[in-house]
Chains A and B, each alone.
Chain A
Amino acid sequence: MSKTKVSGLAPWEEPGSAAGRIGKGGVLALIALAVLLPLYTIVLTSLSSADTVNRAGGLVLVPDGITFDAYRQIFSDSVVSRAVLVSTGVTVAGTAVSLGVSVLGAYALSRPGTLFHRPILFCVLLMFVFFPGLIPTYLMVASLGLKDSYWSLILPSAVSAFNVVVLRAFFMNIPRELLDSARIDGAGEFRILWRIVLPLSKAVTAVIGLFYAVGYWNAWFNAMLFIDDTRKWPLALILRSYVVDSNPLPTATVGVNGFGHVAPPTLAIKMAIVAIAVLPALIIYPFVQRHFTKGVIIGAIKG
């Protein structure tokens, strides 16, 4: 009895064969490696000197001295540091706008039977089944005069129907009696939302916030469409230009050092940009991870 408890198996469960367990362990190790190895070698390469990179003939697998040269170069250059600022700003402002609008909207939709409930819900749910198309959206943004404005990176993607529905489903599960009693005490809707509903929904709000934030941080296509001024480009677009397409930017000074002309970025610099782009997700991730299931499941069921 105690033996089965140690291994975590139920008493009726037959222990797996040794071969089976080794096989399973091997597969799991491979899976973990497939995710972690690229991240490891990218970070390591970004921290290696040009010599080490040359000797390795590319990505570095075995550490041989750590140097922050690549990062120093990146941040001495206005293009990438600007892009980090732009991305940070757009992510913070965008997440605030999206979360605010979605929470308000979801709460407004959380009580069936209220005035215009159905038409409003219909508006939101339609977004699930039909995408109006790239070109009309582009023309709309252009005709609002938002081209080359940071708002063009936020407003068109500010409301995600999926996130609104997840929040709404969560709000609807809050016991009605709680809200009613607050109402008897004279609290208005805004007060109820702020004082009762939101504190009860911290976890789901955090997950939705993360979804929005990741979306803004990672977005590059809207910037490619709407932002012609390369000084306003977010990091993801710089990443695409530098790393995926290996283009030197016309205004870039990375790579100029020592050569006097613009050269394609070195591998260490490329990998440093990749590492910077990954970083925020890695930092926030552990805090929100345990709430994922809740948020996603509600969405999957209600969506």
Chain B
Amino acid sequence: MSADADTRSATEVRPGATQAGPAVGAQKDTRRDSFAARLRRDWPLLVMAMPMLVIVTAFWWVPALGNVIAFQDYNPFSGGILGSPIIGFTNFAQLFGDPQFIRAVVNTVGITAFQLVFYFPVPIALALLLNSVVSGRLRAFIQGVVYLPHFFSWVLVVAIFQQMFGGAGLIAQILRDHGHAGIDWMTNSDTFILLVTAETVWKDAGWGTIVFLAALSTIDPNLYEAAAVDGARRWRRMWHITLPGLRPVIVLLLILRLGDALNVGFEQFMLQRGAVGSKVSEVFDTFVYWSGLRTGDFGYGAAAGLFKGLVGLALILVANRVAHALGERGVYSRS
């Protein structure tokens, strides 16, 4: 379905080239060539695609199909994937009765919703701010600085936050020097959602501005001039020109985010689960790891993973449909 995405783009069918003409013409499309002729023509491309296909097959298709163990009482030692008994939806039934799983779902959805409000607008605001910086050199410098944390691993980001906000961190240290009680936000489960959101902002908000800055640069400057001549001042111009110009990108990213709602950053939560406890930090992916892989209950963990994968798939398809209904381009289109 999504393969139809952009295959129908410009270069494809050329009405003039129905007959395989002389050498050059043959290179233009013809679906009507015989299979053998196309194979003769395109085999080098197939060879080139081969390494990619092998890897995708081995580490995507086979595992994707390997999800059948979600319906099995899977035992790697007796029987494996072919010999383990099929138990239908038992794993799933057990899953929906597992309080830890429910907690993972609630936490995941809660964190996504929270970050939609407190993270999503940050890159937009930052992009508007950067865009309003008149000096090109200053803007390039700030951009360079704010993109940087995107390239740090989560381990680093958590380590850095630990050194800033942890019990022995910089803030606690400064507070203690001035006679206050120290703080430890790294192990405080009440403020955990603020902490992970702050980490996400620090790491990715700068990087997130790229798309918005690019969209801003495509807005016709004459619009601003015309509006200014008509007496619209800064804020009005932003409201009536800039924000409408950003709308398609905002909608697109919002949809992508909704389609991705079940992914809240696996590594980030894995790393901090020990410090704050599983009550607030258990999300889908950590649940799969801790109750499937760690315990060796592979079938059960696979059921949780498959559930997440399918819900995620459905969310993306629905989000895209909504985008089209709203008249936006969506994630993939059919034209």
The reply to whether A214 and B151 form a contact with Cβ atoms under 8 Å apart is yes
The reply to whether A236 and B155 form a contact with Cβ atoms under 8 Å apart is yes
Partner of A59, one of B11, B170, B214: B170
The reply to whether A189 and B45 form a contact with Cβ atoms under 8 Å apart is yes
Residues of A within 8 A of B5 (CB): 121, 125
Report if A122 contacts B (CB, 8 A): yes
Q: How far, in angstroms, from A132 to B138 measured CA to CA in the complex?
A: 44
Nearest Cβ on chain B to A237's Cβ, whole angstroms: 8
Partner of A289, one of B45, B147, B152: B147
The reply to whether B49 and A188 form a contact with Cβ atoms under 8 Å apart is no
A112 touching B39 in the complex, CB below 8 Å, given contacts A135-B298, A239-B155: no
Stretch at the interface among A63-71, A74-82, A151-159: A151-159
Report if B62 contacts A (CB, 8 A): yes
The reply to whether A190 and B63 form a contact with Cβ atoms under 8 Å apart is no
Residues of B within 8 A of A24 (CB): 129, 132-133
Q: How far, in angstroms, from A12 to B27 measured CA to CA in the complex?
A: 53
A134 touching B31 in the complex, CB below 8 Å, given contacts A9-B134, A114-B42: no
The residue on B at minimum CB distance from A120 is B49
Report if B245 contacts A (CB, 8 A): no
**Cβ contacts A247-272/B at 8 Å (1 or 0 each):** 00000000000000000000000110
Residues of A within 8 A of B46 (CB): 108, 115-116
The reply to whether A133 and B309 form a contact with Cβ atoms under 8 Å apart is yes
Q: How far, in angstroms, from A137 to B151 measured CA to CA in the complex?
A: 25
A136 touching B302 in the complex, CB below 8 Å, given contacts A189-B48, A274-B160: yes
Residues of B within 8 A of A158 (CB): 55, 59
Residues of A within 8 A of B332 (CB): 125
Residues of A within 8 A of B59 (CB): 137, 140-141, 155-156, 158-159
Q: How far, in angstroms, from A18 to B71 measured CA to CA in the complex?
A: 67
**Cβ contacts A217-237/B at 8 Å (1 or 0 each):** 111110001000000000010
Partner of A16, one of B202, B206, B234, B306: B234
Q: Which of A118, A125, A132 has the most CB of B within 10 A?
A: A132
The reply to whether B312 and A131 form a contact with Cβ atoms under 8 Å apart is yes
Residues of B within 8 A of A172 (CB): 9, 11
Residues of A within 8 A of B152 (CB): 218, 278, 281
A124 touching B52 in the complex, CB below 8 Å, given contacts A112-B11, A134-B305: yes
Q: How far, in angstroms, from A27 to B132 measured CA to CA in the complex?
A: 13
Within 8 A of A (CB), among B308-322: 308-309, 312-313, 316-317
Chain A, interface SS category: helix
Contact count band on B: 35 or more
A58 touching B168 in the complex, CB below 8 Å, given contacts A14-B233, A189-B44, A277-B156: yes
The reply to whether B163 and A112 form a contact with Cβ atoms under 8 Å apart is no
The residue on B at minimum CB distance from A239 is B155
Q: How far, in angstroms, from A141 to B58 measured CA to CA in the complex?
A: 9
**Cβ contacts B144-180/A at 8 Å (1 or 0 each):** 1111110111111011101110001110010011000
Report if A296 contacts B (CB, 8 A): yes
The reply to whether A136 and B67 form a contact with Cβ atoms under 8 Å apart is yes
The reply to whether B67 and A164 form a contact with Cβ atoms under 8 Å apart is no
Report if B29 contacts A (CB, 8 A): yes
Report if A293 contacts B (CB, 8 A): yes
Report if A107 contacts B (CB, 8 A): yes
The reply to whether B306 and A133 form a contact with Cβ atoms under 8 Å apart is yes
**Cβ contacts B66-81/A at 8 Å (1 or 0 each):** 1101000000100001
Q: How far, in angstroms, from A179 to B107 measured CA to CA in the complex?
A: 52
Nearest Cβ on chain B to A280's Cβ, whole angstroms: 9
Within 8 A of A (CB), among B20-34: 23-24, 27, 29-31
Residues of B within 8 A of A35 (CB): 145-146, 148-149, 202, 206
A7 touching B134 in the complex, CB below 8 Å, given contacts A113-B31, A136-B305, A140-B59: yes
The reply to whether A132 and B67 form a contact with Cβ atoms under 8 Å apart is yes
**Cβ contacts B272-299/A at 8 Å (1 or 0 each):** 0010000000000100110011000010
Partner of A113, one of B24, B29, B43, B285: B29
Within 8 A of B (CB), among A146-197: 155-156, 158-159, 164, 172, 176, 180, 183-184, 188-190, 193
- Apart from A24-B129, A115-B38, A274-B156: 13 A-B pairs, beta carbons within 8 A: A14-B233, A104-B49, A108-B45, A114-B41, A115-B39, A115-B41, A132-B67, A133-B308, A133-B309, A137-B59, A183-B27, A218-B154, A221-B266
* 4 nearest CB pairs, A to B: A133-B305, A218-B153, A105-B52, A122-B3
5 A-B residue pairs with CB within 8 Å: A27-B129, A101-B51, A114-B42, A131-B312, A292-B210
